[in-house]
């Protein structure tokens, strides 16, 4: 095999691992139509929807969660984790078949897949293979990468296929890395991108125990590159974490953010209370 120069020929694309497919559905209640229903019909419709959502909450192959949204961007947010896009679509079809769906309308949605970026280990693996003289993208290279990802995927299974955290509050937002005329994150050398992402991750780790973060990739699936879900018992941690990250280089220079959606967790069994204008008290929704 011919020698390969690591600095010049290692691929620029970091390795990733993918887990659950994810769908966020933001809904607005058609309140005039809902209030026009007789009380007994409202109860029947709400109970039917609660039963369907409860089954989704407790699924062992990917869960769903219901949130009451704050602000004008919608009334309800449903978050679905599933093993495939087909299963996500089935969740959509199941909900659309409920009578309750006649009394809501979609205002937004977001499709993605849970993603673990492997910048640091990617650089190590690429350079090791290059130092061994293995040609990038050759069959031997692909086999080595496949075996590496298989080992890491098993070790990271709980992060790739997590339960939806039972925390009281959620903050969801999409984001991009800048690709402008003067600043373009993707044109940086992979070593530099790895350094910036490592520094970025150190901030999040300081909030371990206060917030649970789930990153999902959406390149090719939706209008932004990633979706970020933050789960916490205290919503102020969202402000503190995101604000601190604003001062981090990769965010200050290269980050673009979409809309933010904030919600309060509600168990499926409490849907009727929510529709009657009563925010249920905090409880374990799992």
| Segment 184-193, tens digit of pLDDT | 998 899 999 9
Q: What is the pLDDT of residue 58?
A: 92
Beta bridge partners of 228: 173, 215
Question: Per-residue pLDDT tens for 209-245?
Answer: 899 999 999 999 999 999 999 999 999 999 999 999 8
Average pLDDT of the chain, as a whole number: 92
Active site residue 173: yes
**pLDDT tens, position by position, 178-213:** 887 688 998 899 999 989 998 888 888 888 889 999
Between CA 128 and CA 175 the distance in angstroms is 32
Structure confidence at residue 4 (pLDDT): 41
Nearest alpha-carbon partner for 6 in 147, 121, 134: 134
Nearest to 23 by CA among 103, 83, 96: 83
Global pTM reads: 0.90
Between CA 86 and CA 138 the distance in angstroms is 32
At 3, the pLDDT band (50, 70, 90 cuts) reads very low
- Over 50: is that where the pLDDT of 138 sits? yes
Mean pLDDT in residue range 62-78: 97
Q: Quote the pLDDT of residue 284.
A: 52
Q: What percent of the chain has pLDDT over 70?
A: 95
Candidate list 126, 173, 207, 254, residue with the active-site label: 173
Does pLDDT of 286 surpass 50? no
Position 5 pLDDT exceeds 70: no
CA-to-CA distance for 284 and 233, rounded, in angstroms? 12
């Amino acid at each position: 095999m011919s020698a390969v120069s690591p600095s010049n020929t290692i691929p620029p694309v970091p390795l990733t691992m993918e887990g659950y497919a994810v769908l966020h559905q933001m809904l607005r209640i058609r309140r005039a139509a809902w209030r026009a229903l007789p009380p007994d019909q409202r109860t029947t419709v709400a109970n039917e929807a609660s039963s369907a959502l409860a089954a989704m909450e407790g699924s062992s192959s990917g869960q769903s969660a219901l949130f009451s949204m704050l602000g004008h961007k919608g009334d309800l947010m449903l978050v679905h984790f599933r093993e495939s896009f087909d299963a996500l679509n089935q969740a959509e079809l199941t909900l659309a078949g409920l009578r309750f769906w006649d009394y809501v309308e979609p205002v937004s949605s977001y499709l993605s897949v849970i993603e673990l970026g492997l910048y640091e280990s990617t650089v190590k693996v690429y350079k090791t293979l290059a130092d061994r003289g293995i040609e990038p993208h050759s069959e031997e290279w692909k086999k080595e990468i496949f075996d590496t990802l298989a080992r890491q995927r098993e070790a990271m299974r709980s992060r790739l296929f997590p339960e939806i955290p039972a925390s009281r509050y959620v903050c969801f937002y999409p984001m991009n890395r800048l690709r402008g005329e003067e600043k373009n994150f993707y044109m940086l050398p992979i070593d530099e991108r790895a350094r910036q992402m490592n520094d970025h991750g150190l901030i999040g780790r300081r909030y371990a125990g206060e917030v649970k973060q789930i990153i999902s990739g959406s390149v090719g699936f939706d209008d932004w590159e990633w979706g970020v879900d933050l789960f916490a018992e205290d919503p102020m941690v969202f402000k503190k974490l995101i604000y601190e990250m604003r001062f981090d280089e990769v965010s200050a220079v290269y980050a673009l953010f979409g809309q933010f959606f904030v919600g309060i967790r509600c168990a499926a069994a409490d849907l009727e209370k929510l529709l009657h204008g009563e925010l249920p008290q905090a409880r374990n929704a799992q």
